[in-house]
Amino acid sequence: MRGVLRRHPAVRAGPGGSYGGPGRGGVPVSLASEAIVEALQRFGVKRHIAVVEPYFPVIQPRIEAFFAESGFEVVRFNHMQGGQFTSYTRTDAPALIEALTSIDGPDVEALVQFGANLPMAAIADEAERWLGKPVIAVNTATYWHALRQGGITDKVYGHTRLMREF
């Protein structure tokens, strides 16, 4: 197990860096937020993005502030919140497609999806084809980042340009 931990990154939702710290294994970690920023950079996105997420609008200032600190401006949001707090992630493919098309526009360089419970990976791959721009799904980006952190550079098809080109 120690050999596996030394070679393979962990995926966590806490602070970034290395898990265990110096002298304690130093396993690199991947955070969803860092993965999305790195994905945007790899695509060469300069500034303007749009975000779709399943939360209530109260989250918007925090997401905007995070992206602003990273040099990006969120020009459009779609909050796909459900009818109540406990149903915010229950959705289907048509709703996700509608959400993506509602935030796209000529001023948007890339679309970003937050909310790990949204089933966006396969839809994002298709959406990149008909929108003609990157669609970064949070789970796909986090998985990609973890693989690359661990030195795994395999190209994966069917899960967005991020997985097959970078």
Contact 135, 124 (CB under 8 A): yes
Average pLDDT by stretches of 10, the chain with 166 residues = 42 44 64 96 98 91 96 96 67 91 98 91 94 97 94 93 96
Amino acid at 128: E
Is residue 53 within 8 A of residue 114, CB to CB? The reply is: yes
Question: Is residue 112 within 8 Å of 50, Cβ to Cβ?
Answer: yes
Distance CA 138, CA 152 (A): 19
Tokens of 133: 């721009």
Write out pLDDT tens, residues 19-67.
444 445 667 788 999 999 999 999 999 999 999 998 888 899 999 999 9
Assign a CATH topology to domain 30-165: Rossmann fold (3.40.50)
Q: What's the whole-model pTM score?
A: 0.83
Q: Please tell me the distance from the alpha carbon of residue 101 to that of residue 105, in angstroms, as a whole number.
A: 8
